Amino acid sequence: MNQQIWIRRLTHFLIATLVFTTTACEKQKATPVEETQAVDRVNPSPVGTSQTILEKTFTLKNSTTFPFEVPAHAVRPHLHGIFESFFRELHGPSEETANVDFLILNAGQYADLLGNRPSEVLFSVEASHNQAVNVDLPASMDQPVKYYLIFRNAVGGPSKIVRADFHVEY
């Protein structure tokens, strides 16, 4: 009888050893690692928000630049606003003598302007003393995009007073 118990225990031991070695020898299948593109990452969306870009009255001698940034994932950024320029004083003459140029540039176009290289602009108004602006900007994708509002003294000469109010909606 002792021999039967011993054989039964040996059998159980061999079966357990066989099961253990079989599962230990099986190679675990590696889970494939998927590379995600930056554009596939989910980040908070600025959709439905707005930002004040410029709400100011300032003196314009030659040119003045106001940079602003559109956050990442802005699908349809829309810049809107108004500017009015005056000759010599706020609410003074607002006619041809008060004309200014207005430009909207992206970072590359702004670098070209600073380097005196010819370039296109996203939007421009030439020689105006009162202008409403409504411009759709390109989608920003997965990186923020920098833009520049530039006011230039159109006819040179004496300084102008400019009152500007601009906002971006996403």
CA dist 147 and 162 (Å) reads: 20
Q: 12-41 in b/e burial notation, b at 16+ Cβ within 10 A?
A: eeeeeeeeeeeeeeeeeeeeeeeeeeeeee
pLDDT at 49: 81
| Segments making up each domain of the chain, as ranges | 46-169
46-169, superfamily in CATH? GOLD domain (2.60.120.680)
pLDDT confidence bin for 42, thresholds 50/70/90: very low
Instruction: Report the predicted TM-score, pTM, of the whole model to 2 decimal places.
Output: 0.70
Span 36-54, average pLDDT = 67
